[in-house]
C-alpha cells in the first residue's frame, strides 16, 4: 500500500492543530535541545552566513539560527505550517515559505552555508529516504555545513513506521551527493523510554573552482547507452554472464525479432530452440510405445523414462538410495499426491506459512478432513518474511511419534523472498516431515539434495526450462514415501488387483504414485532441458538474475512523480539479500491513488512487455502486502455469497483504497539489460498521470482465465 505520510497528510495535521500547535506530535514549541546543544558546543556565530531549515514546522529552530546571526530561509511543504510560523513570529527576519524539498527553487542549489535537517527524513518511508538525502545535500554551499538530527536504528526489523529511523549504513546517500562526514554522534534521548538518536555533521566538498556541480536527479534513467554503462559500472559481475547473451541470439532470436520484452519467468521460462531440436531428433529416430508392456517399443520408452529419472536425481544431487522421482503433470500434481496420501490425524499437525501457493494451501482441506490441527505462520511487512523465532516456536509444537507436516516455499512466487533451507533440518529434528515447494527456486538457484534433505520436493519443469509443459515431479525421500497411504489405485500403480477378490496390492516403488500412463513421449525432453541448463551453468544464471534484479529494485525505488511522490511500491525485500528475481509491485499516481494492476498489465501488452498481474495463486502474500483483514475479505465469502473478482477488487478500492493483488515482473536465464531498461521506460510513462487518465480495464480474470469483456 501507499504509505499514509504524504504532503496532504502533513497539511491535515497542521489544520487540525490548535492555534499554538501544542497538539502537533513533533512540535517542541521551542528550539530543539539537540540543536541548541550542538550550536553551543561549536560556538556557532552565523553572522554573514546563510542558513536553510528543511521542514521548518512551527519555526522555533529557524528563529534560533536567526538569533545567532544567520540569514535564514525556512520552508515547509504544508502551507498551514508556514502560516503558523508567520503568525507566531510576526516580526521575524526569517524568510518563511512553502516549498517542496524534491522540487526546490533553482537558486537554492548550492546556496546555503548551513543546512539543518531535523526529524524530516525519518518521517519518510525507507525507499524515499535516499532521494531526500540527495535533495538536502544539494542545498549546501561549497565548504558549507549540514547538520542532521534524526532517530537511528541498527536495522529496519521492528520499525514498521512511521517514523522510520535511519540506518547508519544508508547514510551513504549523503556521501554520494558530495558531503563529507565530519562528526557522528549516537546517543539515547530519555523520553518515556530511551530513544536512540543520530547527530551527524557534514561538510560540502568544493571543487577547485569553488563550486559544487549540480548532480543529476537520483531517478535519472538516461538513454540506453548511458544507462547500460552506469549499470556495468555498478554491477561488474554481469560481464561474467556474457555467454547468456550469445545463447539469447542463438536460441531465443524470436524475442528480439518480435520486439518482445518477456518478464514473466516465474510464470514460465522460455524454451531454447536446441531443446526442440534435441527432442524432435529423439522422436524422429525411434519407435516408442506405452511403457506398460515388455514389447520393443514399450521397452524403448521405459529405458528413456528411467534414464530421465536418473538424470533428475543427478541434477539435484539426490542419492538414488535416498530419493525417488515420481513424474507428475506439474508441481500441483506432486503436491496433491502428498496431500491426499499423507496420514493426517487428530493428533497431528499441518503447519504452513502465509507465503504459499494455493496448491500448498489446498492441502489444508485434506488435513482438515483428517482432523489435524492447521496453523499458518504470518509474514512481516514490508519484507514479507517470517519471524524465525515464530517458526521455531511453531515447530516445537509437534507431538512426538505423530504425523506432522510442515510446508513452505524455498522461494516465494509472489515477492521473491527466499525462505531458509535451514528450516528443513530444524523441523525434522523436532518430529516434522517437510514439504518444500521448489517451483520458483530451482529455475535460477542450485538445490543440492545431498546438503538439504526435505522429505518431499515439488517441481514443475516448464518453470525451469520452458519445454515440455505438462510434466513435473515429486522428489520424495523413500522413507517418507513409505508413510503415504494412497486413497485409491489406478492403472500403472498396482502390482496386482482383482475384481473377484475385491483387493489390490500397490507397486512398491515410485510406480505406485504414477497414475495411468505417464507422458512417455514428453518425459525424455526433460533430460534435454536439464542438460541445457547444466551447459549454461546455474551459477551463471543466478549471477545474471542477481545483477538485473538489483538494478530493477533500485530504479523502482527511485522512480518519482514531479511532486516527489513514489511511482512504485515494492512488496518484499528491496535489497538482494535472500531474495530471487521476482518483484511484486503496484504503481500509484501523484496523489497516492492506486493504478489498477490489471490495467497496468494491459498497457504493458501495448508496449510489447509481458508481465503478470493478480495475486499469482498466492493469496496469503497478497493479503498481507495489501493490508487486508478478515473484515475486508468477508464480503467475498459471507453466507456463501459468490462475487466476481472484478466486483471484489472494485469494492476494496472504493471502500478503503486497498489492493488484493499486484503487478509482477521476473527475470530469467536470457533476460538482458535492454529488457529491464525497456520496462523502466514503461514505468516512467506513468509519471504525473492520474488514475483516471488510464481508462477502464478491458479484460476480466475468471478462475485463472482471462475473459474479454
pLDDT tens profile 466-476:
999 999 999 99
Give the 3-state secondary structure of 470-506. CCEEEEEEHHHHCCCCCCCCCCCCEEEEECCCCEEEE
C-alpha cell at 179: 558531503
Same-domain status, 189 and 253: no
State the residue for C-alpha cell 480495464.
697
Query: What's the pLDDT score for residue 685?
Result: 94
Same-domain status, 120 and 256: no
Question: Could you tell me if 615 and 357 are in contact, meaning their C-beta atoms sit under 8 angstroms apart?
Answer: no
Question: Could you tell me if 2 and 594 are in contact, meaning their C-beta atoms sit under 8 angstroms apart?
Answer: yes
State the residue for C-alpha cell 506432522.
404
Of the candidates 275, 669, 684, which has an alpha carbon nearest to the alpha carbon of residue 444? Answer: 669
Report the relative pairing of strands 194-204 and 179-190 from DSSP bridges: antiparallel
What are the two backbone dihedrals, phi and then psi, of residue 417, each rounded to the nearest 5 degrees?
Answer: -60, 135
Of the candidates 108, 239, 126, which has an alpha carbon nearest to the alpha carbon of residue 173? Answer: 126
202's enclosing H/E stretch is strand 194-204
Query: What's the pLDDT score for residue 704?
Result: 53
Cα angle value 607/560/666 (rounded, 5°): 45
| CATH number of the domain encompassing residue 29 | 3.40.50.150
Stretch among 388-392, 501-505, 610-614 having the lowest mean pLDDT: 501-505
Same-domain status, 196 and 243: no
Helix axes 224-234, 673-684, angle to 10 degrees: 120
Q: Of these residues, 153, 274, 446, 617, which one is catalytic?
A: 617
Q: How many residues does the chain have?
A: 709
> For the chain, how many structural domains are there in total?
2
User: pLDDT of 441-453, one tens digit each?
Assistant: 999 999 999 999 9
Residues 403 and 533: their CA atoms lie apart, in Å, by 37
Please report whether residue 601 resides in a domain.
yes
pLDDT at 422 over 60: yes
Same-domain status, 187 and 246: no
User: pLDDT of 683-698, one tens digit each?
Assistant: 999 998 998 888 888 8
Residues 6+ positions from 130 with CB-CB distance below 8 Å: 170, 173, 218, 557, 558
**Burial bucket for residue 332 (CB in 10 Å: 0-12, 13-18, 19+):** buried
User: pLDDT of 521-540, one tens digit each?
Assistant: 999 999 999 999 999 999 99
Between the two ends of the chain, the Cα-to-Cα distance in Å is 28
Helix, strand or coil for residue 371?
A: coil
State the residue for C-alpha cell 514531479.
562
Please report whether residue 211 resides in a domain.
no
Query: What's the pLDDT score for residue 2?
Result: 34
How many helices (H) and strands (E) the chain has is answered by: 25, 25
Of the candidates 393, 396, 348, 336, which has an alpha carbon nearest to the alpha carbon of residue 374? Answer: 348
User: pLDDT of 617-649, one tens digit each?
Assistant: 877 776 777 676 666 666 666 656 665 556 665
pLDDT at 505 over 60: yes
Is-catalytic flag, 473? Answer: no
Residue 604 β-bridge partners: none
Query: What's the pLDDT score for residue 709?
Result: 39
pLDDT at 338 over 50: yes
User: Of 185, 204, 223, which residue sits at a domain end?
Assistant: 204
Residues 6+ positions from 110 with CB-CB distance below 8 Å: 138, 139, 140, 141, 142, 204, 211, 212, 214
Cis, peptide link before residue 163, omega less than 30° from 0: yes
Query: What's the pLDDT score for residue 554?
Result: 92
Query: What's the pLDDT score for residue 708?
Result: 40
Residue 327 β-bridge partners: 473
Question: Could you tell me if 283 and 301 are in contact, meaning their C-beta atoms sit under 8 angstroms apart?
Answer: no
Please report whether residue 290 resides in a domain.
no
Report the relative pairing of strands 662-666 and 582-587 from DSSP bridges: antiparallel
Stretch among 97-111, 140-154, 185-199 having the lowest mean pLDDT: 185-199
Please report whether residue 210 resides in a domain.
no
pLDDT at 27 over 90: no
Same-domain status, 251 and 199: no
Give the 3-state secondary structure of 160-221. CCCCCCEEHHHHHHHHHCCEEEEEEEEEEEECCCEEEEEEEEEEECCCCCCCCCCCCCCCCC
Same-domain status, 678 and 615: yes
Query: What's the pLDDT score for residue 24?
Result: 75
Cis, peptide link before residue 437, omega less than 30° from 0: no
Same-domain status, 151 and 98: yes
Same-domain status, 249 and 102: no
Please report whether residue 69 resides in a domain.
yes
Question: Could you tell me if 521 and 304 are in contact, meaning their C-beta atoms sit under 8 angstroms apart?
Answer: no
Please report whether residue 499 resides in a domain.
no
Please report whether residue 273 resides in a domain.
no
Residue 23 β-bridge partners: none
Question: Could you tell me if 688 and 562 are in contact, meaning their C-beta atoms sit under 8 angstroms apart?
Answer: yes
Q: How confident is the model at residue 3 (pLDDT cuts 50, 70, 90)?
A: very low
The CA radius of gyration of the chain, in Å to the nearest whole number, is: 30
Same-domain status, 130 and 261: no
- Where in the sequence is the domain holding 56, given as residue range(s)? 7-204
Share of the chain above pLDDT 70, in %: 87
Strands (DSSP E) found in 403-455: 404-409, 433-437
Of the candidates 625, 556, 610, 245, which has an alpha carbon nearest to the alpha carbon of residue 415? Answer: 625
Query: What's the pLDDT score for residue 707?
Result: 41
User: Of 204, 228, 257, which residue sits at a domain end?
Assistant: 204
Query: What's the pLDDT score for residue 160?
Result: 63
Query: What's the pLDDT score for residue 190?
Result: 59
Share of the chain above pLDDT 90, in %: 65
Stretch among 78-82, 316-320, 394-398, 693-697 having the lowest mean pLDDT: 693-697
Residues 368 and 407: their CA atoms lie apart, in Å, by 15
Stretch among 216-230, 412-426, 429-443, 640-654 having the lowest mean pLDDT: 640-654
Same-domain status, 63 and 179: yes
Q: Which CA distances in Å does 290 have to 66, 328, 662?
A: 90, 16, 44
Residues 6+ positions from 152 with CB-CB distance below 8 Å: 165, 166, 167, 168, 186, 196, 197, 198
What are the two backbone dihedrals, phi and then psi, of residue 94, each rounded to the nearest 5 degrees?
Answer: -70, 140
Please report whether residue 254 resides in a domain.
yes
569's enclosing H/E stretch is strand 568-571
Cis, peptide link before residue 621, omega less than 30° from 0: no
C-alpha cell at 647: 466486483
| CATH number of the domain encompassing residue 643 | 3.90.1150.10
Same-domain status, 152 and 32: yes
245's enclosing H/E stretch is helix 242-251
User: For the chain, how long is the longest CA-to-CA vector?
Assistant: 107
Residues 6+ positions from 429 with CB-CB distance below 8 Å: none
Q: Which CA distances in Å does 282 have to 286, 287, 288, 290, 462?
A: 6, 9, 10, 16, 19
Query: What's the pLDDT score for residue 5?
Result: 45
**Burial bucket for residue 500 (CB in 10 Å: 0-12, 13-18, 19+):** exposed
8 or 361, higher pLDDT: 361
Same-domain status, 248 and 109: no
Query: What's the pLDDT score for residue 215?
Result: 46
Residues 370 and 383: their CA atoms lie apart, in Å, by 34
DSSP string, 621-687: HHHHHTT--HHHHHHHHGGG----HHHHHHHHHHHH---S-EEEEE--TT--HHHHHHHHHHHHTTT
Chain-wide mean pLDDT for the chain? Answer: 88
User: Of 204, 226, 251, which residue sits at a domain end?
Assistant: 204
Amino acid at each position: 500500500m501507499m504509505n499514509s505520510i504524504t504532503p496532504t497528510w502533513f497539511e491535515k495535521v497542521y489544520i487540525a492543530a490548535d492555534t499554538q500547535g501544542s497538539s502537533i506530535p513533533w512540535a517542541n514549541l521551542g528550539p530543539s535541545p539537540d540543536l541548541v546543544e550542538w550550536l553551543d558546543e561549536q560556538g556557532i556565530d552565523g553572522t554573514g552566513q546563510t542558513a536553510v531549515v528543511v521542514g521548518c514546522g512551527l519555526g522555533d529552530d529557524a528563529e534560533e539560527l536567526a538569533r545567532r546571526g544567520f540569514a535564514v530561509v525556512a520552508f515547509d511543504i504544508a502551507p498551514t505550517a508556514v502560516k503558523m510560523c508567520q503568525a507566531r513570529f510576526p516580526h521575524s527576519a526569517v524568510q518563511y515559505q512553502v516549498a517542496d524539498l524534491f522540487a526546490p527553487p533553482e537558486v537554492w542549489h548550492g546556496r546555503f552555508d548551513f543546512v539543518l535537517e531535523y526529524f524530516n527524513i525519518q518521517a519518510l518511508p525507507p525507499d524515499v529516504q535516499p532521494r531526500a538525502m540527495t535533495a538536502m545535500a544539494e542545498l549546501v554551499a561549497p565548504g558549507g555545513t549540514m547538520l542532521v538530527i534524526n532517530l537511528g536504528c541498527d536495522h529496519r526489523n521492528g520499525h514498521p513506521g512511521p517514523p522510520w529511523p535511519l540506518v547508519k549504513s544508508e547514510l551513504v546517500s549523503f556521501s554520494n551527493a558530495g558531503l563529507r562526514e565530519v562528526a557522528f554522534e549516537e546517543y539515547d534521548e530519555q523520553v518515556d523510554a530511551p530513544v536512540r538518536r543520530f547527530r551527524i555533521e557534514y561538510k560540502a566538498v568544493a571543487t577547485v573552482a569553488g563550486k559544487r556541480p549540480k548532480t543529476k536527479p537520483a531517478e535519472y534513467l538516461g538513454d540506453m547507452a548511458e544507462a547500460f554503462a552506469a549499470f556495468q559500472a555498478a554491477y561488474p559481475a554481469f560481464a561474467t554472464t556474457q555467454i547468456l547473451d550469445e545463447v539469447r541470439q542463438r536460441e531465443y532470436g524470436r524475442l528480439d525479432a518480435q520486439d518482445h520484452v518477456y518478464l514473466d519467468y516465474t510464470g514460465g521460462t522460455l524454451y531454447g530452440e536446441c531443446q526442440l531440436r534435441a527432442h524432435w531428433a529423439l522422436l524422429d529416430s525411434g519407435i516408442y510405445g506405452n511403457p506398460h508392456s515388455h514389447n520393443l517399443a514399450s521397452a524403448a520408452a521405459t529405458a528413456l523414462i528411467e534414464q530421465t529419472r536418473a538424470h533428475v536425481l543427478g541434477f539435484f544431487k539426490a542419492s538414488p538410495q535416498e530419493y525417488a522421482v515420481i513424474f507428475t503433470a506439474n508441481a500441483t500434481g506432486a503436491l496433491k499426491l502428498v496431500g491426499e496420501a499423507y496420514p493426517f490425524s487428530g493428533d497431528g499437525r499441518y503447519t504452513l506459512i502465509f507465503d504459499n501457493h494455493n496448491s500448498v494451501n489446498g492441502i489444508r482441506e485434506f488435513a482438515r478432513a483428517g482432523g489435524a490441527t492447521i496453523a499458518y505462520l504470518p509474514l512481516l511487512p514490508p519484507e514479507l518474511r517470517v519471524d524465525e523465532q515464530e517458526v521455531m516456536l511453531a515447530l516445537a509444537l509437534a507431538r512426538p511419534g505423530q504425523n506432522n507436516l510442515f510446508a513452505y516455499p524455498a522461494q516465494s512466487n509472489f515477492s521473491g523472498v527466499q525462505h531458509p533451507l535451514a528450516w528443513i533440518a530444524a523441523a525434522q529434528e523436532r518430529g516434522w516431515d517437510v514439504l518444500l515447494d521448489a517451483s520458483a527456486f530451482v529455475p535460477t538457484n542450485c538445490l543440492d539434495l545431498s546438503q538439504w534433505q526435505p522429505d518431499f520436493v515439488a517441481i514443475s519443469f516448464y518453470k525451469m526450462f520452458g519445454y515440455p509443459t505438462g510434466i513435473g515431479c515429486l522428489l520424495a525421500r523413500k522413507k517418507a514415501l513409505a508413510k503415504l497411504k494412497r486413497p485409491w489405485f489406478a492403472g500403472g500403480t498396482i502390482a496386482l488387483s482383482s475384481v473377484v477378490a475385491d483387493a489390490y496390492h500397490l507397486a512398491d516403488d515410485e510406480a505406485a504414485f504414477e497414475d495411468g500412463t505417464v507422458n512417455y513421449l514428453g518425459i525424455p525432453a526433460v533430460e534435454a532441458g536439464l542438460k541445457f541448463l547444466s551447459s549454461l551453468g546455474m551459477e551463471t544464471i543466478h549471477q545474471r538474475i542477481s545483477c538485473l534484479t538489483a538494478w530493477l529494485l533500485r530504479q523502482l525505488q527511485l522512480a518519482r512523480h514531479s511532486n516527489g511522490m513514489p511511482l512504485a511500491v515494492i512488496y518484499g525485500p528491496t535489497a538482494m539479500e535472500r531474495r530471487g528475481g521476482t518483484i511484486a509491485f503496484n504503481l500509484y499516481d501523484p496523489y497516492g491513488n492506486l493504478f489498477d494492476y490489471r490495467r497496468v498489465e494491459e498497457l504493458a501488452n501495448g508496449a510489447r512487455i509481458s508481465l503478470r498481474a493478480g495475486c499469482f495463486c498466492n493469496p496469503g502474500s497478497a493479503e498481507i502486502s495489501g493490508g487486508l483483514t478478515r473484515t475486508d475479505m468477508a464480503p467475498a465469502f459471507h453466507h456463501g455469497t459468490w462475487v466476481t473478482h472484478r466486483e471484489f477488487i472494485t469494492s476494496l478500492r472504493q471502500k478503503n483504497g486497498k489492493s488484493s493483488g499486484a503487478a509482477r515482473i521476473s527475470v530469467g536465464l536470457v533476460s538482458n539489460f535492454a529488457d529491464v531498461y525497456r520496462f523502466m521506460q514503461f514505468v516512467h510513462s506513468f509519471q504525473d498521470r492520474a488514475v483516471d487518465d488510464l481508462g477502464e480495464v478491458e479484460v476480466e480474470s475468471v478462475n485463472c482465465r482471462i475473459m474479454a469483456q
